[in-house]
């Protein structure tokens, strides 16, 4: 006999005998007639009856405990279906524009759910297929420099003035230039998504931009050019059309965000800057995007 079942049986038999003793204390006359006033019971028929009840109760309890995980899964499948679905492998993909993209002034759009097939590794016969979680546009541009200014003297030396009347104590400057032939101003560029890589600096940059940023501005490359204010930076991955995991049925949106964050924290290390087109038109070789901070961030 299964040892687990024997343990259930012994627990139930001990419990029944304990109840019999309590019953004998409360109703001594009735207990004496049923031979329940002593343990073990001197009447073999009553003793076998107690054994049989313990046997049936042990089987019932064992089956209920065995079904507990299935019951919990069924309840969770109704209340929060995304919790019990398996989590697939996730990764950050780096897409580099080819020669054809270099001449595309409107950029090259990579649609959401685009399939990416991995290269065949030595000794393996199966390729991995991934799908993109958000739409992205490839532009013939690249980051040429990143600078951080931690005091007002550094801001003055770089020609960084208050943006739309909002000043600051520090600033982050990202300089971008065109990689192909032609002017940067030819591109129909209005929005950019920046991804901050690295486990140490990325969270600090993210916290600084969304926790201490007083204004965002852009200008043609060169400290003598004026800064044009831009809309506030946006988080990426929050909306439904940028969800990492498909939703099986309507649920609370916060659960999805928590699940995706613990699955892949770096998925939220994006910052979206929009409203660039008026500034881009005036650019020849490069553009500077400046995040003004209300306070210095020494960790950067």
Whether the CB-CB separation of 148 and 172 falls below 8 Å is answered with: yes
Which residues are registered as beta bridge partners of 4?
Answer: none
- Torsional class of 14: left (φ above 0), alpha (ψ -120 to 50), beta (otherwise): alpha
Whether the CB-CB separation of 216 and 230 falls below 8 Å is answered with: yes
Whether the CB-CB separation of 202 and 266 falls below 8 Å is answered with: yes
- Sign of the Cα torsion 148, 154, 157, 163 reads positive
Whether the CB-CB separation of 188 and 180 falls below 8 Å is answered with: no
The reported pTM is: 0.72
Nearest CA-CA partner of 134 in 82, 99, 104, 90: 90
Domain residue limits, the chain: 3-66, 99-293
13's tokens: 């038999």
Q: For the chain, 300 residues long, give each residue's pLDDT as a single digit of tens.
A: 578 888 888 888 887 777 777 777 777 776 665 555 555 666 677 778 778 888 888 888 888 888 887 887 788 777 777 777 788 888 888 888 777 766 788 888 999 999 999 888 888 888 889 999 889 998 999 999 999 998 889 899 989 988 888 888 999 999 999 887 888 999 999 999 999 887 788 888 888 999 999 999 999 998 777 889 999 999 998 888 888 887 766 777 788 888 888 888 888 889 999 999 999 999 988 999 999 999 988 877
6's tokens: 């024997």
Torsion angle of the four alpha carbons 48, 49, 50, 54, in this order, in degrees rounded to the nearest 10: 100
């Amino acid at each position: 006999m299964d040892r687990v079942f024997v343990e259930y049986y012994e627990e139930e038999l001990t419990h029944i005998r304990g109840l019999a003793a309590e019953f004998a204390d409360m109703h001594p006359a009735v207990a004496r007639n049923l031979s329940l006033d002593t343990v073990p019971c001197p009447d073999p028929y009553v003793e076998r009856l107690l054994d049989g009840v313990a046997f049936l109760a042990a089987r019932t309890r064992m089956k209920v405990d065995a079904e507990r995980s299935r019951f919990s899964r069924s309840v969770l499948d109704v209340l929060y279906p995304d919790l019990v679905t398996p989590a697939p492998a996730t990764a950050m993909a780096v897409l580099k524009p080819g020669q054809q993209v270099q001449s595309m002034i409107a950029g090259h759009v990579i649609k959401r759910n685009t399939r990416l097939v991995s290269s065949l590794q030595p000794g393996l016969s199966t390729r991995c297929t991934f799908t993109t979680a958000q739409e992205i546009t490839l532009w013939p541009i690249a980051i040429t420099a990143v600078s951080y200014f931690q005091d007002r003297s550094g801001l003055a030396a770089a020609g960084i003035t208050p943006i739309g009347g909002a000043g600051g104590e520090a600033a982050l400057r990202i300089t971008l230039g065109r990689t192909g032939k032609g002017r940067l101003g030819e591109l129909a560029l209005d929005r950019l998504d920046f991804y901050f890589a690295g486990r140490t600096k990325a969270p600090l940059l993210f916290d600084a931009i969304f926790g201490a940023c007083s204004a965002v501005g852009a200008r043609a490359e060169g400290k003598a050019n004026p800064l044009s204010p831009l809309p506030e930076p946006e988080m990426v991955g929050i909306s439904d059309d940028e969800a990492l995991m498909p939703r099986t049925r309507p649920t609370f949106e916060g659960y999805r965000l928590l699940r995706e964050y613990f699955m892949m924290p770096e998925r939220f290390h994006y910052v979206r800057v929009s409203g660039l087109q008026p500034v881009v038109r005036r650019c020849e070789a490069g553009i500077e995007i400046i995040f003004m901070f209300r306070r210095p961030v020494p960790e950067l």
